Chains A and B, each alone.
Chain A
Amino acid sequence: MSALLSVRDLSIGFGSGPSVVRDVSFDVEPGQTLALVGESGSGKTISCRAALRILPRTAQIRSGTITLNDSHGAADLMKLSERQMRSIRGNRVSMIFQEPMRSLSPLHKIGNQVSEVLWLHRGASDSEARKEVLTQFERVGFPDPARAYDSYPFELSGGMRQRAMIAMAMVAKPELLIADEPTTALDVTTQAQVLGLIKELQRETGMALILVTHDLGVVANMAEHVVVMHKGRVMEAGPAALILNEPAHPYTQQLFDAAPEIPDQDSVGIPMPDEDLILQMTDVSKTYTMRSSKGWKAEKLIHACRGVDMKLARGKTLAIVGESGSGKTTAARIALGAELPDPGGKVLFRTTKDSEPITVHHMTRAERTAFQRKAQMVFQDPYSSLSPRMRIQDAMTEPLEIHRLGNVSEQRDKAAEMLQRVGLNEDMLKRYPHAFSGGQRQRLSIARAMMLDPALIVCDEPTSALDVSVQEQILTLLENLQDSLNLSYLFISHDLAVVARIADEVAVMRRGLVVEQAPPETLFYNPRHPYTKALIAAQPEPDINRPIDLKLVALGAGSPDSWDDAFRFSDSVIPSLVELEPGHKVRCHV
């Protein structure tokens, strides 16, 4: 049997520059899944887009052939006219993209955008298309397809939008689906569910799948064949079982080493010490009132945080884990004094062990200035957190200028010192941010946060925008800085595997509540809460023999009503946190 899609010696370049994809060849068999694995800049995305000839305007395919051989017959995709290509796109080969938030037009109803595929390729009437799309919506897991049909994208969550994208890609029953990092922008539990859905649809329809990803865990769960790419070339290709079990190429090995994993634990961990607390949050709640669009209706209360108690010992790391909307960022903002807790909540910060605590929830102007010197933040997106119009030196010395510390040459020296600490060169001070890679920018952000010699750094998903190998380096850097400077971290993440490595204590949040809190070892050894279990189960492991347990994920990640009686909560009845063993707290009815 011949391959469904066959790519031979593909080379692609931009303008007159050197080729960014060189002599890439791979085959996709009917009904099978091929994973294109690599880091950003490896050429994986551009290679698969070449199959549909959706490339940036300046890109040109320099050599190679791409042959599609489906039930409509064979076609040389390089030679087809633009009109012929259009009848293939979305019909015989379809594609889903990375960012479900931005991949749908914000101004058109979901149903309209999905039906359009049928209008285009089947000449379907509105009612025919609607019927078929509603069936497809039901298939991809919309609880109320008719309502989804008439919704706008901004009314749906990220997971639901990606389901809509999948429905759009599947509705014309293509024989090949190209999925470009379909789950990278999603929470782990949503990712697990979306991957499960794609797999199920594949089994039903027998379509083939090209999965572009940087995550070996996703590969292990999805693919039969793997192509590892690096700097535009294929490093290694073969059956998934073989490559995942015995990576032959050093680069593949390197990817494996960098992939964060939830370690197997055989004992409980040591609880966070109770003395010398740098940060102490007691009964912190935050309620937002949302003004109703209809004036006569009551205002709606949104509980972003409810009764959060946390403590962070000096030199330790406290991690808050949860999906988007769980309240983890709100908690961090309150810890930094960027937001005030509801009355009754207390946030105490001690600069040194014996100093008088600063009451972060009630600061004078002078206290705030003093506090800001000691508590700094590293942001998620290194691309937008540095001003593109400021030289590195100016960006780094700005905090010193604001606090009027040192003269110009002292400030410069300090910046140079900090750059060295984060592994960059002092001659980079005169450059602008665009000259740096994502990983280097995140180092710069860390260096900037360190300029004021803080005692506490709040890291808001500092690695989730980075490649795995870079993520590994940043985590190592953070660990080293903590060891040498006795820094304390409040670490926000949605990724348990990252947290497993760096945290001394983990608080798992869901809907504004801490549902389980324990040292990571304890949490992985003895998870008690269904949501924690779901988070752990949803983590894709780069091990082909440990597939994601979708049942466990669905159970825990679903609404609290689906949980066991012991854990269930509603707006009115909330069980309290119960200490099961020293340092291990779970929110359950006793």
Chain B
Amino acid sequence: MVMLRYAVYRFFTMLLTLLVVSVMVFVIINLPPGDYLSNQIAELQASGQSAGVAKAEFLRKEYSLDRSLPEQYLIWAGFWPGPHGFEGLLQGNYGWSFEFDRPVAEIVGDTLWLTVVVNLAAILFVYAVALPLGVLAAAKSRTWIDYTSAFVGYLGLATPNFLLALILFYYGHRYFNLPIGGLMDPSFEGEPMSWDKLKSILVHLIVPTFVIGTSGASAMMQRLRANMLDELGKPYVETAIAKGMAPSRMLTKYPLRVAFNPFVADIGNLLPSMVSGSVLVSVVLGLQTIGPTLLTALKTQDQFLSAFILMFVALLTLIGTMISDILLVMLDPRIRYEGREA
């Protein structure tokens, strides 16, 4: 009951945050002088192509770029009727990409959920690797196990991701016959989802997951190790030993539970850093994720496209933090019962 109420409350604060984020995204995108269309018009006029100018002017009207900024925002978000009535994010209309000359929805399409899939896989990888290694390193601190895992971890942190990607590509293909580049076999692109397509995606995911997840995993492992070491010095650990518990069970039941909190709280932070951090990797690996598209959109001031992608990343982040907050409340009674009368 407490949980459900908290989840509902948390969901509404998320919506509110999303609203604020949308304002900020819109303002920031409009901060640099000029926009895609005015740049284009200036260019066209310089070269004397007046037919193009007319089209650009038409688009300007069509997408309300001739209105004031607050109005533009309201129309974009869907709070205010534009030239064709309510047609904004709220209504599922993501706008027009001037650079690609196609609707935003069409451009991002598949890449949206592929981005989610790649990043989810990377996060799972981070947790699956960091959790056992961090605990092990703390339990065996100052032994060769600790030192080896720290060394490998730092190596993972220090190697540039694109380099790692290239290396893995080469050897992965040579020894394990892993596919090179892309997120699925080209023959499946644009096809409806099928068992074979899924299999192809899973195989293609191996290298990107590893590449994107490595540095996150080693950073998180070190954090978990430090947290665990702190907890291991606490009296309740001694109490557990004095009870006669075996070390492995004691470790997982007591200090890990406490050290786990910051670990869970990181879920939300991982997402944006992975999305923005994996742009280069996506380019190198030829992944159809949203990162490279975002880069192009930002460079060309393609405002609807970049705004939509930024909103999407923000949404992912907010969902991540919401999940971690709810998990924290489930895991930690101190948060759950805060203010409960004793």
Contact = CB atoms under 8 A, between A and B. Distances in A.
A87 interface: yes
Given A105-B258, A108-B257, A155-B337, A89 B236 contact: no
A28 B76 CA distance: 82
Interface string A253-286: 0000000000000000000000000000000000
B333 interface: yes
Interface in A72-117: 86-91, 94-95, 97-99, 102-109, 116-117
A98 B236 CA distance: 11
A291 interface: yes
B194 interface: no
Contacts of B342: 155-156
Instruction: Report which residue of A90, A94, A290 has the largest number of chain B beta carbons within 10 angstroms of its beta carbon.
Output: A90
Contacts of B332: 107
Contacts of A120: 243-245
Interface of A: 52, 54, 86-91, 94-95, 97-99, 102-109, 116-117, 120-121, 152, 154-156, 165, 168, 290-293, 300
A90 B250 CA distance: 14
A109 B333 CA distance: 9
B174 interface: no
Nearest to B333: A152
A54 B242 contact: yes
B340 interface: yes
B234 interface: yes
Contacts, number: 84
Contacts of A291: 339
23 contacts: A54-B241, A86-B246, A89-B241, A89-B244, A90-B244, A94-B243, A95-B242, A99-B235, A102-B236, A104-B236, A105-B240, A106-B258, A106-B333, A107-B257, A109-B333, A117-B243, A152-B333, A152-B337, A154-B334, A154-B337, A155-B340, A292-B339, A293-B339
A16 to B, nearest CB: 16
A107 B244 contact: no
B209 to A, nearest CB: 31
Contacts of B191: none
B110 interface: no
A301 B334 CA distance: 22
Interface in B211-263: 234-236, 238-246, 253-254, 257-258
> Which 7 residue pairs across A and B have the least CB separation, nearest first?
A293-B339, A89-B244, A90-B243, A90-B244, A95-B242, A103-B235, A102-B235
B8 to A, nearest CB: 13
Given A86-B246, A89-B242, A103 B334 contact: no
Contact of A104 (B239, B242, B340, B341): B239
A97 B258 contact: no
B244 A91 contact: yes
B274 interface: no
Contacts of B101: none
Contacts of B338: 293
Given A97-B235, A165-B239, A293-B339, A106 B245 contact: no
Interface string B272-283: 000000000000
A103 B236 contact: yes
Nearest to A171: B243
A165 B239 CA distance: 9
B116 interface: no
Nearest to B342: A155
B331 interface: yes
A102 B340 contact: no
Interface in B142-160: none
B238 A97 contact: yes
Instruction: Report which residue of A88, A104, A300 has the largest number of chain B beta carbons within 10 angstroms of its beta carbon.
Output: A104
Contacts of A293: 337-340
Contacts of B235: 97-99, 102-103
Contacts of A52: 242
A290 B334 CA distance: 17
Given A102-B234, A290-B339, A107 B243 contact: no
Given A105-B254, A108-B257, A290-B339, A88 B244 contact: yes
Given A103-B235, A103-B238, A103-B239, A121 B337 contact: no
B243 A116 contact: yes
Nearest to A152: B333
Contacts of A91: 244
A107 B242 contact: no
Contacts of A97: 235, 238-239, 242
Interface in B311-342: 331-334, 337-342
A89 B258 contact: no
B89 to A, nearest CB: 31
Nearest to A83: B246
A426 to B, nearest CB: 36
B239 A117 contact: no
Given A104-B239, A107-B332, A109-B333, 19 more contacts: A54-B238, A54-B241, A89-B241, A89-B244, A91-B244, A94-B242, A94-B243, A97-B238, A98-B235, A103-B235, A104-B236, A107-B258, A108-B254, A120-B245, A121-B244, A155-B342, A168-B239, A168-B243, A293-B339
